[in-house]
Amino acid sequence: MADTIQSSPWTDDGIDPGAVLLNVDNISLSFGGVKAISDISFDVCKGEIRAIIGPNGAGKTSMLNVINGFYQPQEGTIMFRGKERRSMKPHQAVGQGIARTFQNVALFKGMSTLDNIMAGRSVMMKRNLFWQLLWHGPALNEEIEHREKVEEIIDFLEIKHIRRTPVGNLPYGLQKRVELGRALAMEPSLLLLDEPMAGMNLEEKEDMSRFVLDVNQQFGTTIALIEHDMGVVMDLSDRVVVLDYGKKIADGTPDEVRNNQDVIDAYLGVPH
Amino acid sequence: MFYRISGQFKTDYRSDHALFRVRQDAVLMGIILLFAWVIFPFTANEFVFQALLIPVLIYSLAALGLNILTGYAGQLSLGTGAFMGVGAYACYKLVTIFPEMNLLVAIGLSGFFAAAVGVAFGLPSLRIKGFYLAIATLAAQFFLVWLFEKWAWLYNYNASGAIQVPTIDMFGIRVAGPTASSFVQYYFVLFVVTIMTIFAINITRGHIGRTWKAVRDMDIAAELVGINLLRSKLIAFAVSSYIVGVSGALFVFLWRGAAEPNLFDIPLSFRVLFIAIIGGLGSILGNYLGAILIVALPVILNILPEMVGLEINAAVVEHLNIMIIGALIIAVLIIEPHGLARFWAIIREKLIMWPFPH
Ligand SMILES: Nc1ncnc2c1ncn2[C@@H]1O[C@H](COP(=O)(O)OP(=O)(O)O)[C@@H](O)[C@H]1O
Ligand SMILES: [Mg+2]
């Protein structure tokens, strides 16, 4: 599985720009009696930034959890990079090149920024116990090789100064940035971002928006993004899918969605 | 832009991965090694070897093994004593079945038996966590000690039910048995402990150590960056139990000379757990500091009144001792829950700043 990442630079996942990278087809998910997602279909094309919006409880996070294998949908299929599936284990999703960040930061609190981002490369690090015991030689070489990649990401996200700080001590905005760094370290072909700007001040939001755009443009990473801030969504995304009460109510360009009556109603009806 | 800086930083990252990024640390380590390898053994008497040096080393090693599992990989174990027992009994069977076997080899192999048993009892760790896992390891503790008692083959059907360390020579030098010299045994133990410590340092700073810490800090996130939880935990159980097993073999073969099953019972498990906690979970150095506090300090406090010429009733000394050690443990845990190693880290930090507080 991991070989698929390793053998291909991260923009090259065998899908042509503009072609469908991820197709979600008639997915339904329920928890006991609660229907979190009802019969939703949409696609994400290679190279785009795809926003998923909707009021709280609409099923956005659940949708990401289905895509990266954390939840198993009762119905529907998912096609990613040409392979169709109902469900898979999270580490298989990782192996196919899906990385994500979480609505509530999910970092390794006791570890430094550097170690957190290095952890994103776990799948690619192959030296076994024997080499690790010796350390000098192949294990150290591998460590340095990945360290170089990680330092590039640290550079890119402008977090050099907190490289050695345990992430538990960092302010929330920086933690979100480290989490993005960890996801980038996985060199994903599809990056899922769950409210990357929630709880940030204006300046932090602008920084994060810039990083998201740069990741998309410089590395060609396809991004699916959940965001509440409409301004951000309109600026960043190529296409928007709107969910409400687990159903899809609109899908299109930011302008189309903005003027859609169902969307306006959903947002007026549910304060957020 | 990603390739611009690659290459030119290479030497930097290599030195960045050096064990001692501050030269003073290397000097300090050198001094400690000088004491351990030269000054202590050449100045110690029989009492110091047997009551202080050798047990501190062996307990440190046991705590190191436990610390890998609990401090680094986040899996609490209450069965350390029993896993030491697996190492000890395995070594006993090896040297009695193969009397020609080099003792170093026998001890190295006995670790694998402990590792195998550790992995077997670690299997439930994917499903159960925290206290529930601790209870499962407690079950291992009871089961194994019961096995040491009931499975007569393990102690070669001795009438006493105990294992007795035979006389063993290595390259013409007596290393185990009643007539082995403490000087030789100390070096034997020191050698094994040094090697194990180097391995532990290497593995915890590499990517396997990182996966352990990731699983410890947030297992769901670890899974979602592609870490195979079961694999990571089982490697931790294996490595930890290996080290614990080796310490158990040393415990009996290089120190106690004999062992009954109940030697490996819960009190031993808790003693090692105390050492790891007081020393500092998630630290290598802490195990040594913890063992000095828990193993050596009581011995020193016991002989202190006599040394300074105070006439105190032995029972009183004993009680004072327990009170002092108990108070110290509580004080350490209140002042610095992360243990003695964190104390040292703070002092070191201050020394680096000194004399310019920022
Ligand atoms: N693990 C779960 N167990 C039970 N209900 C859940 C679970 N995850 C989500 N839900 C429910 O699914 C619905 C959608 O939640 P979620 O996907 O988190 O919404 P959003 O991210 O759009 O705010 C909510 O009603 C929520 O309570
Ligand atoms: Mg959500």
pLDDT digits (tens, 9 = 90+) for B323-341: 988 898 889 889 888 889 9
Higher per-residue pLDDT: B144 or A89: B144
Query: How much is the average pLDDT of A123-148?
Result: 88
Predicted pLDDT of residue B57: 97
Q: Is residue B324 part of a domain?
A: yes
Q: Report which of residues B351 and B249 the model is more confident about.
A: B249
In a domain, residue B111? The reply is yes
Classify A201 as helix, strand or coil.
coil
The residue range of the domain holding B324 is: 22-353
Can you tell me the mean pLDDT for A160-173? 91
In a domain, B2, yes or no: no
Residues B260-278 pLDDT 10s: 999 999 999 999 999 999 9
Residue B92 belongs to a domain:
yes
Residue B346 lies in a domain: yes
pLDDT band for position A2 (50/70/90)? very low
Instruction: Specify the pLDDT at position A42.
Output: 94
B4 within some domain: no
pLDDT, greater one: B14 or A187: A187
CA distances from A104 to A110, A195, B166, B215, B221 (A): 17, 9, 60, 18, 11
Query: Average pLDDT for residues B121-128, to the nearest whole number?
Result: 85
Tell me how crowded residue A52 is: count the other CB atoms within 10 A of its CB: 27
DSSP count for chain A of H helices, then E strands: 11, 10
The environment of the single-atom ion ligand 2, i.e. residues with CB closer than 5 A, is A 61, 103
Rounded Cα distance, B340 and B90, in Å: 33
d(CA A42, CA A35): 18
Facing B206 at nearest CB: one of A108, A110, A139? A139
Asked if the peptide bond before residue A171 counts as cis, ω within 30 degrees of 0, the response is no
Distance CA B347, CA B353 (A): 10
Instruction: Return the closest-CA partner of residue A11 out of A192, A153, A188.
Output: A188
CATH number at residue B331: 1.10.3470
- Check residues A94 and B17 and name the one with the higher pLDDT: A94
Q: What's the one-letter identity of residue B118?
A: G
CA of A5: which chain B residue's CA is closest? B226
- pLDDT at residue B203 in the model: 95
For chain B, the domain total comes to 1
Average pLDDT over residues B269-297: 94
Residue B281, pLDDT > 90, answer yes
Which pLDDT belongs to residue A13? 67
Residue B11: inside a domain, yes or no? no
The number of C-beta contacts closer than 8 angstroms across A and B is: 119
Q: In the structure, what pLDDT confidence band is assigned to residue B161 with cuts at 50, 70 and 90?
A: confident
Q: State the pLDDT at residue A269.
A: 61
Domains of chain A: 17-97+188-272 (3.40.50.300), 112-186 (no CATH)
User: Token pair of B338, please?
Assistant: 């992360």
Average pLDDT of chain A, as a whole number: 87
* C-beta of A194 in contact with ligand 1 (< 6 A): no
Start-end of H helices in chain B: 10-16, 23-34, 40-43, 46-47, 54-67, 80-97, 103-122, 130-150, 182-205, 207-217, 219-224, 229-250, 266-279, 285-291, 297-307, 314-335, 340-353
Q: Taking all residues of chain B, what is their mean pLDDT, rounded to a whole number?
A: 89
Classify strands A49-53 and A239-244 as parallel, antiparallel or unpaired.
parallel
**For residue A54, how far is its CA from the centre of ligand 1 (angstroms)?**
13
Contacts A121 to B, Cβ<8 Å: 207
Residues across chain B: 358
Q: What pLDDT score was predicted for residue A5?
A: 36
DSSP helix/strand/coil, A250: strand
Ligand 1 pocket test: which of A34, A100, A195 has the largest number of ligand atoms within 8 Å of its C-beta?
Answer: A34
Do the Cβ atoms of A226 and A191 come closer than 8 Å? Answer: no
Q: Whose CA is nearest to atom 3 of ligand 1?
A: A31
Q: Is the pLDDT of residue A159 over 60?
A: yes
Beta bridge partners of A78: A24, A85
Residue B346 is predicted with a pLDDT of: 87
Least confident piece of the model among A116-120, A260-264, B87-91? A260-264
pLDDT tier at B102, thresholds 50, 70, 90: very high
**Interface check A129 vs B, CB under 8 A:** yes
Give B172's DSSP letter.
Answer: T
Q: Are B80 and B273 in contact (CB under 8 A)?
A: yes
Residue A241 pLDDT > 60, yes or no? yes
Residue A99 to residue B227, Cβ atoms within 8 A: no
CB atoms closer than 10 angstroms to residue B1: 10
User: What per-residue confidence (pLDDT) applies to A151?
Assistant: 93
Residue scoring higher pLDDT (A180 or B303): A180
Calpha distance B1→B100 (Å, rounded)? 62
pLDDT at B8 over 70: no
Per-residue confidence at A70, pLDDT binned at 50, 70, 90?
Answer: confident
* Burial environment of residue B153 by CB neighbours within 10 A (0 to 12, 13 to 18, 19 or more): exposed
d(CA A268, CA A251): 18
Pull the structure tokens for residue B68.
Answer: 């890998």
> Which tens digits make up the pLDDT trace of B18-70?
777 777 788 888 999 999 999 999 998 999 999 999 999 999 999 999 999 99
SS3 content of chain A, % helix, strand, coil (to 5): 40, 25, 35
Closest CA to A53 of A197, A256, A251: A251
- The two structure tokens encoding residue B103: 């003792």
Q: What is the pLDDT of residue A198?
A: 86
Which three-class secondary structure state does DSSP give residue A189?
coil
H, E, C per residue of B17-53: CCCCCCHHHHHHHHHHHHHHHHHHHHHCCHHHHHHHH
Query: Model confidence over B137-160: pLDDT tens digits?
Result: 999 999 999 999 999 898 988 888
Q: B230 to chain A: nearest residue by CA?
A: A91
In a domain, B108, yes or no: yes
Lowest mean pLDDT among A225-239, B3-17, B220-234: B3-17
Taking Cα atoms as reference points, which of A1, A83, A2, A69 lies closest to residue A29?
A69
pLDDT band at A52 (very low <50, low <70, confident <90, very high): very high
Evaluate if residue B280 carries a pLDDT over 90.
Answer: yes
Q: pLDDT-based confidence at A186, cuts 50/70/90?
A: very high
